């Protein structure tokens, strides 16, 4: 009874692999390491380096490890990149999942958990946003994920598969023991950028738009700690194993913090007063994005442990400081070699 995690060497995938292993699950990972890191995986977890859309590879892994469930993280995640390269995003998100589902159907996989995103909502009519509102993505990234949701729904109905679609809001923070975190170069996550500024890796942080009709004029987001999100995946798996029906669930805390509040939290926990530059609004930015979390709380046995902006900022900072120390040690090692 093994769980296949695609993209398990990435930011969210690696936290989920860790949560599953700590809960006693047998896990196998397929990841092409395009943005992931093999070092994020516990040693005992087999890693197959390859594409989640490679049907021969995945079919072999499923047979060899007697996989019964799939948690699918593999994909491309940067919204502005998807504007520049839409076909690349439809290929790596939508088409890769089509191939993965093709294998899953052939192998009679009965449970599938998919990483979707709040980007499927576009500019929501209602905030906090519930799952049933119309989806109107504003980027190829959001569209590629929505297309995948539709495809998964159709495949599950036709082939007796059960699924949970988790629509992540703003994922942030790092493993509380700093074993994994966000390490991708050029990551666009606000808290990541803020901790890079706090550790002296950036001269300043830009805030796009301070004239929104919000309490402090900046945009509002629902930040969820990556460890709580990992636990939501473990809970989703238990839910499906317990016979739960296919369902789509928002993954956030249901509480919004402004961009300026998030920056202040990083300043407070770091004790460093890095520069903030106010810039005009960016086209396409959504003013307020906060999850209605009633459905996930009613459906899954899931109690968030880190629902606190300062804790999220502290864990993100501790991870970033570790990355900086490791990079400095590498430079010193290279210099002395
Ligand atoms: N980070 C967020 O805030 C956020 C928000 C909403 C949704 N998501 C979704 O969560 C998932 C994981 O995101 P993340 O933040 O951990 O990103 P990430 O880039 O750290 O992880 C993606 C992982 O998938 C791997 N990968 C990419 N394409 C692959 C392919 N074709 N075959 C095999 N492996 C492949 C990468 O090497 C990486 O390890 C993505 O599907 C993303 O769309 C993330």
Strand partners, 5: 29, 71
Contact residues for 15 (Cβ-Cβ < 8 A; gap 6+): 175, 180, 226, 227, 229, 230
Cβ of residue 174 lying under 6 Å from some atom of ligand 1:
no
Q: Walk me through the domains of the chain, giving residue ranges and CATH numbers.
A: 2-173+223-251 (3.40.50.720), 190-220+254-291+307-336 (3.90.25.10)
Cβ of residue 173 lying under 6 Å from some atom of ligand 1:
no
Look at ligand 1, atom 43, and give the residue with the nearest C-alpha.
77
Cβ of 226: how many Cβ atoms within 10 Å? Answer: 26
Query: Which residue has tokens 């430079």?
Result: 331
Cβ of residue 16 lying under 6 Å from some atom of ligand 1:
no
Query: At 236, is the secondary structure helix, strand, or coil?
Result: helix
pLDDT digit string (tens) for 134-162? 999 999 999 999 999 999 999 999 999 99
Q: What is the pLDDT of residue 336?
A: 85
pLDDT of residue 110 exceeding 80, the answer is yes
pLDDT of residue 337 exceeding 80, the answer is no
Cα–Cα distance measured from residue 166 to residue 319, given in angstroms and rounded to the nearest whole number:
25
Look at ligand 1, atom 34, and give the residue with the nearest C-alpha.
31
pLDDT digit string (tens) for 211-253? 999 999 999 999 999 999 999 999 999 999 999 999 999 999 9
What is the average per-residue pLDDT within 83-102? 97
Give pTM, 2 decimals.
Answer: 0.97
**Secondary element (H or E) of residue 151:** helix 140-159
Cβ of residue 181 lying under 6 Å from some atom of ligand 1:
no
Atom of ligand 1 nearest to the CA of 36: 39
Rounded (5°) CA angle 280-281-282: 115
Percentage above 90 pLDDT, the chain? 92
Catalytically active residues, by annotation: 141
Strand partners, 146: none
What torsion, rounded to 10 degrees, do the Cα atoms 119, 121, 126, 127 define?
A: -20
């Amino acid at each position: 009874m093994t769980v296949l995690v695609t993209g398990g060497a990435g930011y969210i995938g690696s936290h989920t692999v860790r949560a599953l292993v700590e809960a006693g699950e047998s896990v196998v990972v397929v990841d092409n390491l395009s943005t992931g890191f093999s070092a994020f995986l516990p040693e005992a977890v087999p890693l197959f380096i390859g594409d989640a859309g490679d049907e021969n590879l995945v079919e072999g892994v499923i047979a060899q490890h007697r996989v019964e469930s799939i948690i699918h993280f593999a994909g491309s995640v940067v919204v502005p990149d998807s504007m520049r390269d839409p076909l690349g995003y439809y290929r790596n998100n939508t088409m890769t999942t089509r191939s993965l589902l093709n294998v899953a159907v052939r192998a009679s996989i009965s449970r599938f958990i998919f990483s979707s995103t709040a980007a499927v909502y576009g500019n929501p009519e209602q905030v906090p946003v519930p799952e049933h509102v119309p989806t109107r993505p504003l980027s190829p990234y959001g569209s590629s994920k929505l297309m995948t949701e539709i495809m998964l729904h159709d495949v599950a109905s036709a082939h007796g598969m059960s699924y949970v679609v988790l629509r992540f809001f703003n994922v942030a923070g790092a493993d509380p023991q700093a074993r994994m975190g966000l390490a991708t170069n050029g990551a666009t996550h606000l808290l990541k950028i803020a901790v890079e500024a706090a550790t002296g890796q950036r001269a300043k942080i830009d805030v796009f738009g301070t004239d929104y009709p919000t309490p402090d004029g900046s945009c509002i987001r629902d930040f969820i700690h990556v460890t709580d999100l990992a636990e939501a995946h473990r809970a989703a798996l238990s839910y499906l194993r317990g016979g739960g029906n296919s369902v789509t669930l928002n993954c956030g805390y249901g509480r919004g913090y402004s961009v300026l509040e998030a920056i202040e939290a990083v300043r407070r926990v770091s004790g460093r007063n890095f520069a903030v530059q106010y810039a005009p609004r960016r086209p396409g930015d959504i003013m307020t994005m906060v999850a209605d979390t009633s459905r996930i709380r009613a459906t899954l046995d899931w109690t968030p442990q880190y629902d606190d902006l300062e804790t999220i900022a502290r864990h993100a900072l501790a991870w970033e400081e570790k990355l900086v120390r490791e990079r400095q040690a590498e430079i010193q090692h290279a210099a002395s070699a």
